[in-house]
Chains A and B, each alone.
Chain A
């Protein structure tokens, strides 16, 4: 645990003093190069946790330690991809990324900055769109610029807040694959919020499941046992896929509510959430009546 790259211990947030906390006793750890997704219903404080990790918001309790140092305020060590892309509409694609690069390396000359930007524009396959304003780009392209901007500063960790929430399914699929490729290439540590169960299974090494708020917490850490180098086309053929998927859907539909109500179980895992590997659990498939049903529907 002490060797973990990112350690979050006992994080809590209440928006008014004395009010019930949105989340409470949130603890988890990330290893370097790990891709972690958080799933939970709206209002459980996922974005707040991400903002605390980013340093944009202050926790009411607990601590975040990254790479041996406590997180206190925003830093170039953590790149953020915002929910609504957050590109500056008066700047071109290149200048949007250059703003970030200039922040990271203030001494660089214009040519060096432009060359660096170009590398990341090419990486997200936006070559040829460098001089367009964000208003001239589609939603998917804007989000790619946001990703390029976050990657371009070469942060130690990347924080993504539902980056593909507003995109159509096809665009989302294409960018998910690009993101997988870029992460595999750069061995980037990623913390990502999503609502999409399939997205989490495709991208994540670990999936944190949060109970409903208020007093939300991380109920389980689901280890994604699917082998790496997954693609959208064949990931669902793997025997682990539906076991994990059913486990996640079941959590979102039933157990997130039950766990919120059941305080007894909350007390039992004060020392950190339960780690489960539903992918390896062959018994679950037999015991789970919903699994074959889902397959039939499909």
Chain B
């Protein structure tokens, strides 16, 4: 049996054990009426088996099936299908991310190519980078006065740093030889930037984009919990308010799966631009 097959079997086993543990952990307990007056127990419902409120595996499975089989239903502002919520979240992340890339990659080029620009901008980057993106939220809400745009801004501000830093690093460490080749061939600035520096730095830039996307997906859930109205983050908070824990668990799993798929997509893109020396 190959390593992969062994790993797959082990993974399946771990999943099975976890599912079993969940199932047993959430089984309804027997009548809790020991030592209590039977009439009182009956009155309080203590004579029947009762769970502790955490949904069982089967309940979550049923909820998931219900959600997945009708993902785009729209029954008013507080009751939309998970597909719609997901689409809103992905849309905000995508927009904020693309805007960040449009700023970070050209700016990263400038910083990477010019030591003066690097020296001038580095202090700002170092101070702004460690700020939790959610800390910007009140300021964004006050100035932008729109919750959706504010959450896009928060995604923008959190995705910009890894992309900026990686682009600058990638551009600055392009091999001198390749630049010299371009110079001796009298390749212009634009041609050198797009045909030499960009492909040379692409793996590093893509790594930055992958990190950014990971952070953006983490942040969007929190941002939507804060600003409300739509998205998976809001869905989680709304279902918590509804005390529908099986929906919460389903949403948590979904956020994980979508995050993994995004990461896989960037991993694939990264491999596509990576070159062997």
Contacts of A88 in B (CB 8 A): 178, 181, 196, 199-200
Q: Of residues B177, B181, B184, B186, which shows the largest number of chain A Cβ atoms within 10 Å of its Cβ?
A: B184
Known A89-B275, A90-B199, A135-B276; judge A84-B183 contact (CB<8 A): no
* Assembly CA distance A283 to B184 (angstroms): 46
* Assembly CA distance A55 to B182 (angstroms): 12
Do B185 and A90 touch (CB < 8 A)? no
Known A88-B196, A99-B195; judge A74-B276 contact (CB<8 A): no
- Assess whether B52 is interfacial by the CB under 8 Å rule: no
Do B275 and A79 touch (CB < 8 A)? no
**B179-210 toward A: CB 8 Å interface, digit per residue (1/0)?**
01101111100010001100110100000000
Do B275 and A135 touch (CB < 8 A)? yes
Do B277 and A153 touch (CB < 8 A)? no
Contacts of B177 in A (CB 8 A): 82, 84, 86
* Assembly CA distance A254 to B128 (angstroms): 61
- Assess whether A174 is interfacial by the CB under 8 Å rule: no
From the candidates A86, A90, A104, A133, name the one contacting B181 in the complex (CB within 8 A). Answer: A86
From the candidates A82, A89, A103, A133, name the one contacting B186 in the complex (CB within 8 A). Answer: A103
* Assembly CA distance A51 to B199 (angstroms): 25
| Those of B190-238 within 8 Å (CB) of chain A | 191, 195-196, 199-200, 202
- Assess whether A100 is interfacial by the CB under 8 Å rule: yes
**B21-42 toward A: CB 8 Å interface, digit per residue (1/0)?**
0000000000000000000000
Q: Of residues A56, A89, A91, which shows the largest number of chain B Cβ atoms within 10 Å of its Cβ?
A: A89
Do B276 and A75 touch (CB < 8 A)? no
Rounded to whole Å, the gap between the CB of B274 and the closest CB of chain A is 9
Do A90 and B186 touch (CB < 8 A)? no
Known A84-B177, A133-B275; judge A90-B200 contact (CB<8 A): yes
Q: Of residues A82, A90, A100, A134, which shows the largest number of chain B Cβ atoms within 10 Å of its Cβ?
A: A90
* Assembly CA distance A89 to B200 (angstroms): 8
**A62-91 toward B: CB 8 Å interface, digit per residue (1/0)?**
000000000000111011101010101111
Do B183 and A56 touch (CB < 8 A)? yes
**A130-146 toward B: CB 8 Å interface, digit per residue (1/0)?**
00011100000000000
- Assess whether A190 is interfacial by the CB under 8 Å rule: no
Q: How large is the interface on B (under 10, 10 to 19, 20 to 34, 35 or more residues)?
A: 20 to 34
- Assess whether A201 is interfacial by the CB under 8 Å rule: no
Contacts of B195 in A (CB 8 A): 99
Do B276 and A86 touch (CB < 8 A)? no
Contacts of A89 in B (CB 8 A): 275-277
Contacts of B196 in A (CB 8 A): 88
Contacts of A104 in B (CB 8 A): 185
Q: Which residue of B lies closest to A78 (CB)?
A: B184
Known A90-B200, A103-B185; judge A80-B275 contact (CB<8 A): no
Do A56 and B186 touch (CB < 8 A)? no
* Assembly CA distance A133 to B187 (angstroms): 22
Contacts of A54 in B (CB 8 A): 180, 184
Q: Which residue of A lies closest to B180 (CB)?
A: A56
Contacts of A135 in B (CB 8 A): 275-277
**A115-141 toward B: CB 8 Å interface, digit per residue (1/0)?**
000000000000000000111000000
Contacts of B180 in A (CB 8 A): 54, 56, 74, 80, 82, 86
* Assembly CA distance A94 to B159 (angstroms): 38
* Assembly CA distance A78 to B277 (angstroms): 26
* Assembly CA distance A82 to B181 (angstroms): 8
Rounded to whole Å, the gap between the CB of B139 and the closest CB of chain A is 42
Residues of B within 8 A of A (CB): 175, 177-178, 180-181, 183-187, 191, 195-196, 199-200, 202, 273, 275-277
A-B contact pairs, 20 of them (CB 8 A): A55-B184, A74-B184, A74-B186, A75-B184, A78-B184, A80-B180, A80-B181, A80-B184, A82-B180, A82-B181, A86-B178, A88-B178, A89-B275, A89-B277, A90-B200, A90-B273, A99-B187, A103-B187, A135-B276, A153-B185
